[in-house]
Chains A and B, each alone.
Chain A
Amino acid sequence: MLLQISEPGAKPSARPRRLAVGIDLGTTHSLVAIVQDDRPIVLEDWQGRVLLPSVVHYHADRRVEVGYEAGAWQSDDPENTFISIKRYMGRGRGDVPERQGIPYRYADTSGMVQFETRAGRVSPVEVSAEILKALRERAVRALGSELDGAVITVPAYFDEAQRQATKDAAKLAGLEVFRLLNEPTAAAVAYGLDQGAEGVYAVYDLGGGTFDISILKLTRGVFEVLSTNGDPALGGDDFDHAIYDWLLQDTGIPAPAAGDARRLLAAARAAKERLSEQARTRVTVPLSNGSTVERTLTCETFEALTEALVKRTLAPVRKALRDADLAIGEIKGVVLVGGATRMPCIRKAVAEFFGQAPLSDLDPDRVVAIGAALQANVLAGNRAGDDWLLLDVIPLSLGIETMGGLAEKIIPRNATLPVARAQEFTTWKDGQTAMSIHVVQGERELVSECRSLARFELRGIPPLVAGAARVRVTFQVDADGLLSVSAMEQTSGIEAKIEVKPSYGLNDGDIARMIEDSYRHAQDDIAARRLGEQKVEAARLIEATEAALAADGALLSEDERSVIRRHVEALREVAEGSDWEAIKRASDALNDASTEFAGRRMDYSIKTALTGQKLEELQV
């Protein structure tokens, strides 16, 4: 072993920094950022570009292209080239508006939509995973090493199914998700830390396919989301379609072929973007039949075409303010996020509504990725003590189906996460041992008007006479906004087994199959992957336990300490080997052995938190 000699006075280097990235997985563009020397950096591709178009193209041999290369196929091979895939995440066929110019071939499935491509059937989760893989590779190249984890952003208004789909995509891409972070919250982090802001802020985020509004309160390093609202199907794309419809109407061309439609849409979008800088612009689109569409579009016409869209963003803003119980005048600043907020009509509408010019000092394309990277760095444990805290909320109420197709709310929208609610159910037949609970999300009273999330089938309820069993079901929503359900029969203390049937998601089997599939294609070895993951978890556990013993070992007796130490050593030994199951067993054993210790530390930590606080208060 080499001796480590440090310079006098220099601290021996702490454990190696964990590599964590922030990813903005956008409808239109995606980005990846890291923190280096305390500064966020948005990573570029080999050509110096930071934006990766969220476009994925499938070849017949399942070879996949992502980004600009994929974009080049848009008009020549539209059925196999996916743009704006984020609109389909966790969505069923009926949820996505049928619009002209969408060339995909839907597979005949229930649940989340799937598409037929020449490389076979793909789900939006797999398409998104390709984008994430491309970003992961970009980061690995830049950092020269594998990543420990990632923060991935989602629209605040994403429901549970959309969040789960995003997390599944990350899993498929081989990323450990430290956190799904809401895009507006990420933007606030980027702004708040940059400018030391305090007070109540609104974040107005109009991207390519989604609109989000969040009201946040910043108090000494705590970012508290007061309310959030939005429209998951409203974005810059809709402004493109407004121009597209105008072009078709103005020129009188009938429904165009898919390739032409893509060309017209691309031209519409380019024209829209030019109008952010100039008063009028020329739109020229060569069609496949040899003719050319040529029109001049002025700002006035564009504003008239899109007035209703701009207005549509203000209704969610009002709702968010009401939910936060705030008047417009109480908003200290408005942050603009998303490429579509470059449109002058949006800036004007926002300024008028809030009675103040919005903030846009940071590049609206990058601000979300930067916030995500800053948070990833904190979650990786790379900062000591002086970090901040994000308190997010659940965007839509969670409910369960009751008699007559009614939804009974269990967790109200805008409840601070994590949150849990328990509900008691009983059996209605003698000897009944199973029941099914249908969980929905949304504000409406009828189940049919809310989004169906999943059916939870509880089994193993002890057979009793009707009405005697007391099944207490706990609905837990974690900091990512993801739901888990557990159930216990109260009179017997027997835990029910639960099978989850997601309505628009993938079940664990699907994901496992996709991961195996992707390995088969990548000629990789899934066992090696599993072993790698177990070793990482073991290393993490050993490190955390040792740090805990060093800091708070005094909370344990000598005997208790040595029990834990023995488990640490046992784990360290098997972790050298290559039996992933043995490593898992030893990890579980160490976890069990330190549960009591963890609990005492938590208690101690809370007590000292508040005593420390009291001292501060006295000093004021």
Chain B
Amino acid sequence: MISAATRDYFELFQLPPVFQLDIDRLDIHYREIQSRVHPDKAAHLSDGEKRLFLQWATLANEAYRTLRRPLDRARYLLQIHGVETGEEDNTAMPAEFLLEQIEWREELQEAQARRSQPALDRLSVRLRREMNALLDSLATLLDVERRHSAAAEVVRRLAFLEKLGRDLDQAQAELEA
């Protein structure tokens, strides 16, 4: 028996361990698995079985969440290959990237100060485009060229942009409130 805790996520969903994952199949397999392991399927069973279902359903959710989001999927793939993304220590980022970050932040603050929804929207579109370009390069680095340390660097950049995206969302929410 393979315990819930040690399952490989790709193996769980019976999908190949690649970055360019077939998301439709992931969705289908996820629902298929949950419809077998969700605690609701054990409501009339014994306490021991309830616990087992809880563990597996928790694992399936965690695995799905990880594989569903590109950035987390990339991190997970790198982890499988034993590559650290080293995101806690971001002093290693190139100076030009950090400068770019400062510019993004300044634009965000300015749009916030002007309470300009269109400016926030424009920023949001640009950010998305930038992130998509990085995700495309991740696909090549991970699936084709297998350059894992270069991929880790892209992951670090994406992490910055994702954080920026969250702050942007927050700013938009505050404007609407």
Contact = CB atoms under 8 A, between A and B. Distances in A.
B176 A315 contact: yes
Contacts, number: 121
Interface in B1-46: 1-3, 12-14, 25, 28-29, 31-40, 43-46
Interface string A51-93: 0000000000000000000000000000000000000000000
Contacts of A318: 173, 176
A605 B37 contact: yes
Interface in A565-618: 587, 590-592, 594-596, 598-600, 602-603, 605-606, 609-610, 612-614, 617
Given A179-B40, A219-B31, A598 B48 contact: yes
Given A389-B40, A603-B2, A476 B46 contact: no
A322 interface: yes
Contacts of B33: 606, 609-610
B58 interface: yes
A222 B31 contact: yes
Interface stretch (A375-383, A429-437, A451-459): A375-383
Contacts of A18: 44
Contact of B32 (A418, A595, A609): A609
A478 B46 contact: no
Interface residues of A, number: 55
Interface in B41-60: 43-49, 52-54, 56-58
A591 B43 contact: no
Contacts of A544: 44-46, 49
B61 interface: yes
A561 interface: no
Contacts of A614: 14
Nearest to A593: B48
A598 B49 contact: yes
A353 to B, nearest CB: 12
Contacts of B38: 389, 391, 479
A312 to B, nearest CB: 11
Contacts of B65: 415-416
Interface string A537-548: 100110011000
Main secondary structure of the interface of A (DSSP, over half): helix
A378 B44 CA distance: 10
Nearest to B56: A602
Contacts of B144: none
B177 to A, nearest CB: 6
Nearest to A538: B46
Contacts of B101: none
B62 interface: yes
A540 B32 contact: no
Given A390-B40, A476-B58, A598-B52, A603 B1 contact: yes
Nearest to B29: A610
B112 interface: no
Contact of A610 (B32, B39, B45, B61): B32
B119 to A, nearest CB: 18
A599 B34 CA distance: 16
B62 A605 contact: no
A419 interface: yes
Contact of A419 (B3, B25, B47, B62): B62
Contacts of A149: 43
Contacts of B37: 602, 605-606
B169 interface: yes
Contact of B57 (A418, A591, A609): A418
Interface string A380-416: 1100000001110000000000000000000000011
B43 A379 contact: yes
A399 B40 CA distance: 26
Interface in B153-177: 169, 172-173, 176-177
A138 interface: no
A417 interface: yes
A501 interface: no
A478 B61 contact: no
Pairs of residues from A and B, 10 with the lowest C-beta to C-beta distance, nearest first: A379-B43, A591-B48, A381-B44, A599-B1, A541-B46, A479-B39, A178-B43, A418-B58, A605-B36, A609-B32
